[in-house]
């Protein structure tokens, strides 16, 4: 198998104030004529398990991986794992309350080791092994964590892989380092989730409580302690909404999304694809896939899609 280990930490989904919609079957998406919105045509593929060739077993030299902590003059230190190899560096950006030991991150590490590809993963501040308080974080601060780690630890050329909220941070990094990002791969990408999947679904009483106290807590559908939504998180998100206008990235992009995702509707990937300026954009809809896309066949699809971008 590609994956070295399967994480049991159920924390990769962004917070939503109600379940996402159940989606119908995707058919061919006709190319749209460009208008004032500067949208680009997007290829939509419906992925079936039979399409995935299971990977061969390849031994991974774990000793090659460097585990460390990046100290910073401003802000908490950032925990990371880095594997040297050929360029470009593949960078994994995790989701809301997730960490770098999850199944997708571990799968990509093993996959890149088998290819001899450089790989970097990290925990945002307040996540996993990194310092800092989770409630102090925002999409902007977590994007800065990623930028600091990339600037200090990655090669000049990058392929970004963003899972859930990491799909938003992936966009922030690409816009901040436009000359370095060669390609992007989104997994249930959730840009703008603070506004469209959190604030928009709150009732009036919850919104007032958030504005008055600065934080509200919601029970996790995946177990564990309730998670916090802060006013700071929502307000920061409003300053960096990306799905309201064209996104000036012209490199190759692949967007994987489960059609049975209850947290981030699969149509969000179609919207993101339409906002990207480039033409080499494909959405791969996994008909029976959920939000995590962490089954063996999903992980095999992830590896095959990364191989395509690295070819």
Active-site annotation, residues: 164, 261, 291
Q: CA triplet 156, 158, 163: central angle to 5 degrees?
A: 150
End-to-end CA distance of the chain: 21
For the beta carbon of residue 246, count every other beta carbon within 10 angstroms: 15
Residue of 230, 18, 262 whose CA lies nearest to 126: 230
Q: What are phi and psi of 69, to 5 degrees?
A: -135, 130
Q: Quick check: 273 and 11 in contact, CB under 8 A?
A: no
Structure tokens, 34: 């460009």
Q: Quick check: 276 and 252 in contact, CB under 8 A?
A: no
Alpha-carbon separation of residue 182 from 24, 160, 175, 207, 277 (angstroms)? 33, 8, 12, 40, 14
């Amino acid at each position: 198998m590609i994956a070295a280990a399967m994480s049991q930490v159920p924390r990769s989904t962004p917070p939503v104030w109600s379940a996402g919609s159940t989606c119908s079957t995707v058919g061919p998406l006709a190319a749209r004529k460009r208008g004032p919105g500067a949208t680009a045509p997007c290829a939509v593929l419906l992925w079936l398990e039979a399409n995935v060739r299971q990977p061969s077993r390849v031994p991974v030299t774990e000793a090659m991986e460097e585990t460390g902590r990046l100290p910073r003059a401003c802000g908490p230190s950032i925990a990371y794992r880095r594997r040297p190899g050929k360029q470009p560096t593949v960078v994994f950006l995790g989701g809301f309350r997730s960490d770098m030991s999850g199944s997708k991150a571990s799968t990509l590490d093993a996959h890149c080791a088998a290819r001899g590809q450089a790989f970097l993963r990290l925990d945002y501040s307040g996540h996993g092994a990194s310092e800092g308080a989770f409630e102090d974080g925002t999409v902007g601060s977590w994007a800065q964590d990623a930028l600091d780690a990339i600037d200090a630890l990655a090669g000049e050329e990058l392929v970004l892989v963003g899972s859930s909220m990491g799909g938003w941070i992936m966009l922030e990094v690409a816009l901040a380092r436009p000359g370095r990002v060669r390609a992007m791969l989104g997994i249930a990408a959730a840009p703008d989730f603070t506004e469209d999947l959190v604030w928009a679904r709150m009732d009036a009483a919850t919104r007032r409580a958030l504005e008055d106290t600065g934080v509200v807590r919601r029970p996790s559908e995946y177990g564990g302690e309730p998670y916090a939504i802060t006013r700071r998180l929502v307000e920061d998100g409003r300053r960096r909404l990306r799905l309201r206008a064209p996104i000036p990235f012209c490199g190759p992009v692949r967007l994987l999304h489960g059609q049975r995702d209850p947290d981030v509707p699969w149509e969000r990937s179609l919207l993101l694809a339409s906002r990207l300026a480039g033409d080499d954009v494909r959405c791969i809809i996994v008909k029976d896939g959920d939000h995590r896309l962490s089954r063996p066949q999903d992980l095999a699809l992830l590896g095959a899609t990364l191989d395509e971008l690295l070819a």
